[in-house]
Amino acid sequence: MSNNGLAWAIPVMRIGYAGRGLVYFVVALFSLYAIWHGGQAKGTSSALSQLETTIGGSIILFLIFIGMVAFAVWRLVNALYDLDEFGTDAKGLIARTNMIVTGITHMAIGALAFSLLFIGGGGDGSTIASAVRAIFVLPGGRLIVGLFGLVVMGAGGFHFHKGWTAKYRENMRANHFTARWSWMLKVGVISKGMIVLIIGLLFVYAAIRANPEEAGGVGKAFSWLTAQPYGWGLVAIICVGLLGYASYCFVNAAYRIVPKVDGHDIETLAVRLGSQVKAAF
């Protein structure tokens, strides 16, 4: 049964996913351009800072700002009202807590876009290291950072599993487009999982080494990957995958199903593709 009283959350969700897609599209595109010209792949802060200097970049930054605020609101509302029906058992509460955390992190990206637009400066790339340094001075600070890293690694593993098993199909409307391009969405979600897994690993490594400079976000993960054997190729492959993840976000903006609002009568991509597989046998 649908809940029309929460129908207002659907357009907020769609705006949020569209803004999220813009962020990953910008990061992946600028990173691939930099790699092609012999440079370093971009993190979120550096990509958005570079976007500010391009023609029409301010308009895109404004759209990202609106999108990130909308996505943060969507995640918080989803967690509060359990719109995806995760439930109240341990697994469901973990999923809903993760929504709150991702809502906060995307609000931070929105704040960065706002800063670039209206204040004239963004982060200098050391914000994460500074935060980790501040935590290190607390009692048990290294343990806190290490546990946080393990949680982030768990989130990365969740995304990887979600992509590998194609569980994202369970909340996606079935139509010709989503069925045809499901493989691209799969690659995108797996790539997102890999980069999040590496970010979590860097936090754990920073805790072990007691060196806050080892921690970081997407940019730091790209730097770490580049230093590995065949690193440039690995980074390029993941950046192409992140273009797929941007597409995944855009497709969610158009075709995502919210069970508690939309009800259970809409055919999902998982059901359609499952039926096609059964029919083949």
Contacting residues for 35 by C-beta, under 8 A, at least 6 apart: 41, 232, 235, 236, 239
Q: Residue 183: name the closest of 196, 164, 197 by CA.
A: 164
Structure token digits, residue 278 = 């059964």
Domain residue ranges of the chain, discontinuous segments joined by +: 4-280
- Taking the chain, what is the end-to-end CA distance rounded to the nearest angstrom? 33
Query: Is residue 172 helix, strand or coil?
Result: strand
Q: Is the pLDDT of residue 278 over 80?
A: no
pLDDT digits (tens, 9 = 90+) for 184-208: 999 999 999 999 999 999 999 999 9
Q: How far is CA 172 from CA 94, 97, 99, 167, 249, in A?
A: 22, 22, 18, 10, 11
Distance from chain centroid for Cα 110: 13
Asked if 242 and 24 touch (Cβ cutoff 8 Å), the reply is: yes
Structure tokens at 163: 């992509």
- Say if residue 216's pLDDT is above 70: yes
User: Which among 235, 248, 238 is positioned nearest to 191, based on CA atoms?
Assistant: 238
pLDDT at 279: 60
> Each residue of 72-120: pLDDT tens digit?
999 999 999 999 888 889 888 888 888 888 888 888 888 888 888 877 6
Structure tokens at 85: 């029906």
Question: In which band, very low, low, confident or very high, does the pLDDT at 124 lie, cut at 50, 70 and 90?
Answer: very low
Looking from the CA of 264 toward its CB, the CA atoms found within 13 Å total 3
Q: Does this model's pTM top 0.75?
A: yes
- The answer to whether the beta carbons of residues 28 and 240 sit under 8 Å apart is yes
Per-residue pLDDT of 137-153, as tens digits, reads 999 999 999 999 998 89
Structure tokens at 234: 């690995």
pLDDT of the residue at 129: 84
pLDDT tens, 8-43?
A: 999 999 999 999 999 999 999 999 999 998 888 888
Q: Which amino acid is at 266?
A: I
Residue with tokens 């990887």: 160
Spatial distance between the Cα atoms of 103 and 144, rounded to a whole number of angstroms: 21
What is the chain's length?
281
Could you tell me which residues are beta bridge partners of residue 256?
Answer: 172
* pLDDT tens track for 233-261: 899 999 999 999 999 999 999 999 998 88
